[in-house]
């Protein structure tokens, strides 16, 4: 895990790339002028906002991150079809439930990404991260965190926890090396 980037003038390399791409997409052009302006903005904006943010782990495995994005996109498509069928089927057959997934991740950014992934994929919405920071004594860092998830149709609790840990959490641990 690394909290700070290699070069001081480029505090968050991935965000700079993202800003550059967003700028080009917003202007819908790849002319030289926009390439230069986009590059300047992509370097200047992260530098200006760097003092405001708390340091979060950086993406150390960009290749794996790209692969994970496509896996999640595919899961979103299947999730939509699956949930669509469940909505149209008789409501009585659904077995809703809350489950608690123990997390291996420690930092806010990876946990946020995991919670968002869980919300977008089959029949699950993330609800809460335990323990709630405000309920802890000041300055204490929780050793084990849990993610509370609401499931639309709960079949096998342990199998679902294993799927989430293997399919979404393990790659995140690998990407952020934490």
Partner 1 sequence: MTEWLISALLIAGGLFILIGSIGLVKMPDFFMRLHGPTKATTLGMALLLIAANVFFSVENGVINIKEILISIFLLITAPITGYMLIKSAIHHELKAKDGTKGMDNIEDD
Least distance in angstroms from the C-beta of 166 to partner 1 = 20
Q: Which residues is 151 bridged to in the sheet? A: 97, 124
Which CB sits closer to partner 1, 150 or 173?
Answer: 150
131: its two tokens: 């323990």
Least distance in angstroms from the C-beta of 28 to partner 1 = 5
Which CB sits closer to partner 1, 49 or 98?
Answer: 98
Which CB sits closer to partner 1, 46 or 177?
Answer: 46
Least distance in angstroms from the C-beta of 43 to partner 1 = 21
Which CB sits closer to partner 1, 1 or 73?
Answer: 73
Contact footprint for partner 1 (CB under 8 A): 22, 25-26, 28, 76-77, 79-80, 83-84, 87-88, 91, 94-100, 115-116, 119-120, 123, 125-128, 130-132, 134-135, 148, 150, 152, 154, 157
SS3 19: helix
Least distance in angstroms from the C-beta of 100 to partner 1 = 5
Which residue shows structure tokens 């659904």? 94
Which CB sits closer to partner 1, 105 or 115?
Answer: 115
Which CB sits closer to partner 1, 91 or 143?
Answer: 91
Sort strands 124-130 and 97-103 into parallel, antiparallel or unpaired.
unpaired
Secondary structure of the chain: what % helix, strand, coil (to 5)? Answer: 55, 10, 30
Least distance in angstroms from the C-beta of 59 to partner 1 = 16
Least distance in angstroms from the C-beta of 90 to partner 1 = 10
Distance CA 147, CA 124 (A): 12
Helices first, then strands: H and E counts in the chain: 6, 3
Burial class for 47, CB neighbours closer than 10 Å (0-12, 13-18, 19+): middle
Distance CA 107, CA 142 (A): 11
């Amino acid at each position: 895990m690394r909290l700070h980037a290699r070069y001081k003038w480029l505090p968050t390399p991935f965000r700079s790339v993202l800003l550059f791409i967003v700028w080009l997409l917003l202007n819908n052009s790849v002319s030289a002028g926009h390439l230069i302006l986009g590059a300047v903005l992509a370097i200047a904006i992260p530098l200006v906002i760097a003092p405001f943010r708390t340091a979060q782990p950086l993406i150390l495995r960009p290749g794996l991150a790209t692969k994970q994005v496509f896996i999640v996109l595919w899961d979103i498509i299947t999730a939509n079809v699956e949930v669509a069928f469940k909505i149209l089927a008789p409501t009585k057959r659904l077995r809703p439930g809350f489950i608690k997934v123990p997390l291996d991740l420690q930092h806010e950014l990876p946990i946020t990404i995991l919670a968002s992934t869980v919300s977008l994929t089959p029949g699950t919405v993330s609800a809460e991260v335990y323990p709630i920071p405000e309920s802890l004594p000041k300055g204490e860092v929780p050793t084990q965190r849990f993610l509370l998830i609401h499931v639309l149709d709960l079949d096998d609790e342990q199998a679902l926890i294993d799927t989430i840990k293997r399919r979404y959490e393990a790659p995140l641990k690998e990407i952020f090396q934490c």
